[in-house]
Each structure stands twice: as C-alpha cells, then as structure tokens.
Amino acid sequence: MKPKRTSSVSLKSKRISDCDCSIEVESRQQGRVLKTLLAINAAMFVIELVTGILAESTGLIADSLDMLADAVVYGIGLYAVGRTASAKIRAAFTSGYFQIVLALIVALDVSRRTVFGSDPEPTYMMLIGLIALAANIVCLTLDRQAPRRWCAHESELDLLEE
C-alpha cells in the first residue's frame, strides 16, 4: 500500500491554521497598510491614465496600468490577509494573470501608436512622472514598515516550499 502524499500547499495550510500564534493584530495592521497602498495606487492610476491620454503618452498610460496592477495586487493582498496558504497562492496566480493582461494592453497601444503615430507632451510626462515617483517612494516606505512575521512557524513554512 502506497503512503498517502500530502501536497506542500495543504501542509502549509494546515500548519498556518494550527498555529497558536497571535496573527489578529498584525493582520489588522497589515490590512490598514494595504488599504493605504491600494488608495495611493488607485489614485495614481486615474491621474496617470487621464494625463497619459491627454498628453498622448504611452509611457504614462503604461505606468498608469502598472499602478492599476499594484492596486489590484494590494486588493488581492487584502483578500489574502489572514487566509490559508492555498488562498494566498491562488491570489498570487490571479495577480500574475492580471499583470499579463495589462502587458498585452500596453503592447497593443504601442502597436497602435506605431501605425497611427503620436506626439506626446513632454512637460506633462515629466510632471506626472515625478508625482508617480513620489507616490512609489511613499508606497515603498509604507510597505517596508508593514508587519512581516505572522508567527514563529513562518521559517518552517518556507522550508516546506523548497
């Protein structure tokens, strides 16, 4: 009789749910940070998309879609906070597929502009680019300050992935 195989995902899920560590407080803190990051990226998405369309800038439109992708990732992260490892893995795959779709949209816009031409407005591009840089620095700072360790068993979970 063959021994029953358990996937690392189900093992990790079981380990996380069996953990007696207190993750409530850190999950709430992480949720607040993710909401802030989501708001910043969503606002920058709108600002860059509108300016990119008005300035005829594929660069700004592409960066706006990157901000949208970040906002979606943070939204999916909010969903995943405090959930099982398998839910987090599904969330990560969803984020990856969304990134691929956005890359295809940018490639289509570049192709369209190659065929029909465009004359981007450099002043808008530089101004909004600097604002986007500031937003990214704020997000990076907030992200680095977010709680990382959910429980003492996290290092064991990392070992299960290998």
Note the pLDDT of residue 84.
81
Tell me if 158 is assigned to some domain: no
Q: Is residue 18 in some structural domain?
A: no
Note whether residue 67 is domain-resident.
Answer: yes
- pLDDT value of residue 30: 77
Query: Do the domain assignments include residue 157?
Result: no
pLDDT at 98: 86
List b or e across 96-113, with b for residues whose CB sees 16 or more CB atoms inside 10 angstroms.
eeebeebeeebeebeeeb
The boundaries of the domain holding residue 56 are 23-148
- Answer yes or no: is 15 within a domain: no
What is the structure's pLDDT at 73? 83
DSSP string, 110-141: HHHHHHH-----HHHHHHHHHHHHHHHHHHHH
Domain count, the chain: 1
**Given CA atoms 73, 76, 81, 86 in this order, what sign does their dihedral have?**
negative
Residue 85 lies in a domain: yes
Q: Is residue 3 assigned to a domain?
A: no
Specify the pTM.
0.66
The answer to whether residue 49 is domain-embedded is yes
What's the pLDDT score for residue 17? Answer: 45
Question: From residue 82, how far is each of 8, 22, 27, 31 by CA, in Å?
Answer: 18, 11, 6, 9
**Residue pair 12/160 in contact by the 8 Å Cβ criterion:** yes
Q: Is 82 left (phi over 0), alpha (psi -120 to 50) or beta?
A: left
What pLDDT tens digit does each residue of the chain (162 aa) get?
A: 554 544 444 444 444 444 444 444 467 777 888 899 999 999 999 999 999 999 989 889 989 998 998 898 888 878 877 778 888 788 888 888 888 988 898 899 889 888 988 888 889 999 999 999 999 999 999 988 876 543 333 433 343 343
